[in-house]
């Protein structure tokens, strides 16, 4: 099963992706985790990404696509995966379609976690990751960037008839129950 989990910052993508990974036995590929690890380890990629994220902006498409394409070459992704944090722009989605086409694969589901903005801001401020852009002003900028650059990805996948809308409000278990019900009907 090849799945994209999608939604604004604070929607719970990482939390739910880990649960999906465990439940369905597929690896979880998080571009955010790859970037955070690079930042923590002070790698050249980490330093470059940190300055971009500190400004509340998105990492350039070509850098993200190259990173994901390289990672997906690992044989552990052969039977499926859940992508978290990718694609974030229409050019990334188009590049991902090319990656799938080269392998003769298709996307099984695009899970859209839907959460009201006030809930997103509260979640981000209380999740305690300690990101340098977790301030009310920077969060609003990240949500604006999401709406402007990332939301069009939803419309791109609607044309492929793979979008599954998931109510992202409630307990982690309630949300995961909705996701399982959706995935079990694919």
- pLDDT tens per residue, range 78-96: 999 999 989 988 999 999 9
pTM of the model: 0.84
Angle between helix axes 151-158 and 90-103 (nearest 10 degrees) is: 40
pLDDT value at 132 more than 70: no
Known catalytic membership, residue 88: yes
Among residues 36, 50, 127, 180, which one is catalytic?
A: 127
Gap between the Cα atoms of 88 and 108, Å rounded: 18
Average pLDDT, the chain: 89
Known catalytic membership, residue 142: yes
Among residues 18, 105, 142, 180, which one is catalytic?
A: 142
Q: Which of 112, 123, 111, 33 is nearest to 71 (CA)?
A: 33
Burial grade of 45 (CB within 10 A; 0-12, 13-18, 19 or more):
middle
- 111: containing domain: 2-183
Gap between the Cα atoms of 85 and 7, Å rounded: 9
Span 160-185, pLDDT tens digits: 999 999 999 999 999 999 999 999 99
Known catalytic membership, residue 131: yes
| Number of domains the chain is built from | 1
Question: In CATH, what number is assigned to the domain containing residue 179?
Answer: 3.40.50.300
Span 29-82, pLDDT tens digits: 998 888 887 788 888 878 888 888 788 777 889 888 888 888 898 899 999 999
- Phi, psi at residue 27, to the nearest 5°? -70, 150
Gap between the Cα atoms of 100 and 113, Å rounded: 23
């Amino acid at each position: 099963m090849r799945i994209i989990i999608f939604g604004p910052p604070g929607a719970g993508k990482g939390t739910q992706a880990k649960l999906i990974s465990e439940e369905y036995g597929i690896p979880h590929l998080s571009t955010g985790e790859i970037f955070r690890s690079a930042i923590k380890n002070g790698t050249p990629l980490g330093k470059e990404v940190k300055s971009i994220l500190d400004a509340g902006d998105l990492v350039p498409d070509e850098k993200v696509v190259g990173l994901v394409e390289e990672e997906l070459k690992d044989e552990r992704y052969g039977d499926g995966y859940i992508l978290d944090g990718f694609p974030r722009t229409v050019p990334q989605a188009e590049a991902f379609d090319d990656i799938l086409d080269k392998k003769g694969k298709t996307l099984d589901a695009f899970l859209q976690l839907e959460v009201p903005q006030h809930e997103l801001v509260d979640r981000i401020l209380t999740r305690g990751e300690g990101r340098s852009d977790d301030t009310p002003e920077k969060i609003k900028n990240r949500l604006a960037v999401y709406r402007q650059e990332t939301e069009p990805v939803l419309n791109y996948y609607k044309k492929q008839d793979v979008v599954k809308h998931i109510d992202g409000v409630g307990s982690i278990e309630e949300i995961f129950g909705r996701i399982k019900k959706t995935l079990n009907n694919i």
